[in-house]
Amino acid sequence: MPSLKDSARIVKNLENLEYRVLKVFVSSIKHHQIINNHNILSYSNLHKDRVKYAVESLLKLKLISKTQNGFKLLTAGLDVYALKLLVDSGIILGIGNSLGIGKESDVVEAISEIQQQRAVKFFRIGRISFTDTKRKRSLEKNKNVNNWLLINIEAAKREYDFLVKLKSTKMNIATPYFRSMHSIVMDRINGLRLIEIRNLPNPIEIFDKVFEQIRISYNEKIINGDLSEYNILLDENNDIWIIDWPQAVTLEHPNAEFLIRRDLHNIIRYFRRKYDLTIDENSYYNTLLK
């Protein structure tokens, strides 16, 4: 699969005809994972020779793949489409180096039109095993469970909506600027994840800052749902930033109590294990309820 930098180069050289046919694939994924020549001709309103040329070009660029019954949009194709929307909309000028590669997302640096640093997160759910992802996200009831592109688009939309809501609070949340398909453009936070920090000079103070962020979110009736030392950043001012919210839920969720207790337990366990802190988990949980 082409890298995101490769996708950015493709965006610069993509012909209008290629983009028009690529758009047909993106517009069709909700109803068709595989489309044939007849579908493309019908949806694009293009002559068959132009469609043939565009499809062959998209195949060569590895943005789509050929199947027994037609053609299928690939993740790289969705990347190119999302990036083109961002550039054409003036949200970013382009992307730079990788800021992080996780199990379920890739994050790259970007520059806005007014030369401000941004981060762009591209969702990659499905990169890990299907069984683990299905269990983790309870996707069994989703009729599009096999369509990872749709699942990634929905995850981006979900996280973007939660980020917008949390940004109106006193939480340290990266400002979300725009969502394009399965990607989110937000402020770039310069910091290290807790898991990357060898030693904290004052761990109990940092723990209290983490808890304060959890408390603010809880007061807004939002639970991260997947909190750990892997998605908490510490910046140069010793401020805490909680990142990654695609699994967030509201207090109305049937498993809300379990999820908030698990978030607390994960963080307390980390500080207990690494810094030998004595923390009363029930006491902190009861503080949230006040």
The pLDDT tens digits of the residues spanning 68-110 come to 999 999 999 999 999 999 999 999 999 999 998 888 999 999 9
Looking only at the bridges linking them, the beta strands covering 240-242 and 232-235 are antiparallel
In this prediction, residues 122-146 reach a mean pLDDT of: 62
**In the sheet that 232-235 helps form, which strands lie side by side, from edge to edge?**
191-193, 232-235, 240-242
- Which pLDDT does position 136 carry in this prediction? 52
- Which pLDDT does position 138 carry in this prediction? 53
109 contacts 93 by C-beta, under 8 angstroms = no
CA dist 200 and 204 (Å) reads 9
- Which pLDDT does position 130 carry in this prediction? 54
- Which pLDDT does position 146 carry in this prediction? 54
Q: What is the DSSP letter of 15?
A: -
DSSP E strand stretches across the chain? 34-35, 64-66, 71-73, 94-101, 105-111, 117-123, 176-180, 183-187, 191-193, 222-223, 232-235, 240-242, 249-250
What top-level class would CATH report for the domain 89-187?
alpha beta
CA dist 21 and 40 (Å) reads 7
Average pLDDT, the chain: 92
CB-CB neighbours of 181 under 10 Å: 21
Of all residues in the chain, what percent carry a pLDDT higher than 70? Answer: 93
- Which pLDDT does position 6 carry in this prediction? 92
CA dist 192 and 17 (Å) reads 43
In this prediction, residues 247-270 reach a mean pLDDT of: 97
- Domain range 191-289, CATH architecture: Orthogonal Bundle (1.10)
Confidence of residue 132 (pLDDT cuts 50, 70, 90): low
In this prediction, residues 230-240 reach a mean pLDDT of: 96
- Which pLDDT does position 144 carry in this prediction? 47
The dihedral built from the CA positions of residue 228, 230, 234 and 240, taken in this order, carries a sign that is negative
**Residue spans per domain, the chain:** 4-78, 89-187, 191-289
pLDDT tens string 39-58: 999 999 999 999 999 999 99
In this prediction, residues 240-245 reach a mean pLDDT of: 96
Is the domain spanning 4-78 CATH 3.40.50.460? The answer is no
pLDDT tens string 175-222: 999 999 999 999 999 999 999 999 998 999 999 999 999 999 999 999
